[in-house]
Amino acid sequence: MKFYSTNNPLHSVSLREAVIKGLAPGQGLFMPGQIPVLPASYFKSIHEKSFSQIAFDIARAFVEDDIPQDRLKEIVSNTISFDAPLVEIEKNIFSLELFHGPTLAFKDFGARFMSQVLGYFAAEQKKEVIILVATSGDTGSAVANGFLDVKGTRVIVLYPSGKVSEIQEKQFTTLGKNITALEVDGTFDNCQQLVKQAFSDEELNQKLFLTSANSINLARLIPQSFYYFYAWSRLPKKEHVVFSVPSGNFGNLTAGLIAEKMGLPIDHFIASTNRNDIVPNYLASSQFHPRPSVETISNAMDVGNPSNFARMIDLFQNNFSEIKRILSGYSFSDEETKAAMKSVFTQRKYVLDPHGAVGYLGLKKYISQYPETVGVFLETAHPSKFKEVVEETLSTEIQIPERLKIFLQGEKQTVPLEADYNSFKNFLKTLALPHE
């Protein structure tokens, strides 16, 4: 299969080039040349398949002959080495728990898949592959741990100083080896822009082999569709199914929309956001107006200019009516988020993290209008990753899993950086010195 740029549909590349480059020329995002559609018969027996088998079927539809099937099976098997259980917390309302991976966040799926795919392709490179990743929290930890010790790669994580939780920060600043953390004096949007500028810098790209591990990279996006298929296959009722996705950079939601385009019988999606409500405002007005992000308790969603919006509208050929048919958008304040966390804990003894709580709120709002809905909201991170806000909100102690405690014992190692491209470029140029 070929993959084209959202900025130039005539610019078409192989999977290998799309994964290694990460970003298309002119800051475009790569998209599949066509969305493979699975036959209706596939969904009649999908419940008989394991998570790994479902994931392999989806991956194979996109990868085709670019990776040998035996190797692809190995990659998928290594990616899907943990479960994503559905937990019914109210009648016909399910939490899809995506936090059972090594860093306890949904991004483990994409990061693990991408690290292995990129490792497969990078083996042919003479230059070290430098992976740039901007993070507002969980992306940094998932990517850093996914690529730790992967031969021929170096990961540079950019994150906004003071705007991620301590546990999130420790998960990517204590690893050392081929992982470097840049602590940026700014916002996530500043970090993301620095990464995009680096990809557009011809001088820098002549010296270094740069790619991205954010959801702008196709190899991060494809595996995020796996768990939509798996969740649907495990629902006791499969009619009027709606997914509510807590959204920041919108890669997770875009992956769900791709799953629906592949034939997965999902009736509707909900873009659930915090006060960074750029996409809900777009859905209300048809106008896309990015703006600087604002800080909230659901910090991984503090994004004011979501990159994957370009993919979302490309999927529907910028047809606003079609987008509105499949997608609704709601935003919620920190106060509403905390109230939902308290309510669910009091009534159901179920602990939501602040991001999952936003997804839950979006689903409840939609169901108030469409009560026949069977709803799934994505619980994207373990509550202990936001220990302070969860404990303060629920007035109860949250136990930290052992694998998180190990990170907390490590020593933070970061490089301070101004939110200035010249400073970032000068840092990256030092990585080229040993090769000159």
Q: What is the edge-to-edge ordering of all strands in the sheet holding 30-32?
A: 12-13, 3-5, 30-32
pLDDT given at position 128: 86
pLDDT given at position 246: 97
All domains in the chain, ordered by first residue: 84-102+221-394 (3.40.50.1100)
- Which residue type is seen at 100? H
Taking a C-beta distance cutoff of 8 angstroms, is the pair 211, 20 a contact? yes
Helix (H, G, I), strand (E, B) or coil at 376: strand
Contacts of 368 (CB under 8 A, 6+ apart): none
Q: Closest Cα to residue 55, out of 34, 70, 77, 40?
A: 77
From the number of C-beta atoms within 10 Å of its C-beta (0-12, 13-18, 19+), residue 324 rates as middle
Give the side-chain half-sphere CA count within 13 A for 195. Answer: 31
Contacts of 152 (CB under 8 A, 6+ apart): 119, 122, 123, 125, 128, 129
Contacts of 4 (CB under 8 A, 6+ apart): 10, 11, 12, 13, 30, 31, 33
Taking a C-beta distance cutoff of 8 angstroms, is the pair 302, 249 a contact? no
> d(Cα 132, Cα 338) in Å, to the nearest integer?
33
Residues with a known catalytic role: 107
Taking a C-beta distance cutoff of 8 angstroms, is the pair 396, 345 a contact? yes
DSSP state letter for 208: S
pLDDT given at position 433: 63
Task: Tell me the pLDDT of the chain (436 aa) as tens digits.
Answer: 999 999 988 889 999 999 988 888 888 899 999 999 999 999 999 999 999 999 999 999 999 889 999 999 999 999 999 999 999 999 999 999 999 998 899 989 998 999 889 888 877 777 788 999 998 777 888 899 989 988 888 999 999 999 988 888 999 999 999 999 999 999 988 998 999 899 889 999 889 989 888 778 899 899 999 999 999 999 999 999 999 999 998 999 999 999 999 999 999 999 999 999 999 999 999 999 999 999 999 988 999 999 899 999 999 999 999 999 999 999 999 999 999 999 999 999 999 999 999 999 999 999 999 999 999 999 999 999 899 999 999 999 999 898 888 888 889 999 999 999 999 999 999 987 644 4
Taking a C-beta distance cutoff of 8 angstroms, is the pair 384, 167 a contact? yes
> d(Cα 259, Cα 37) in Å, to the nearest integer?
9
Q: Which residue has the tokens 């084209």?
A: 4
Own/partner contacts of 15-21, CB < 8 Å, gap of 24 or more, are 15/62, 15/63, 15/66, 15/67, 15/218, 16/66, 16/121, 18/218, 19/114, 19/117, 19/118, 19/121, 19/211, 19/217, 19/218, 19/219, 20/118, 20/121, 20/122, 20/125, 20/129, 20/209, 20/211, 21/211
Question: Phi-psi bin for 205: left (phi > 0), alpha (psi -120 to 50), beta?
Answer: alpha
> d(Cα 434, Cα 419) in Å, to the nearest integer?
26
pLDDT given at position 354: 97
Give the side-chain half-sphere CA count within 13 A for 432. Answer: 14
pLDDT given at position 435: 43
> d(Cα 156, Cα 16) in Å, to the nearest integer?
21
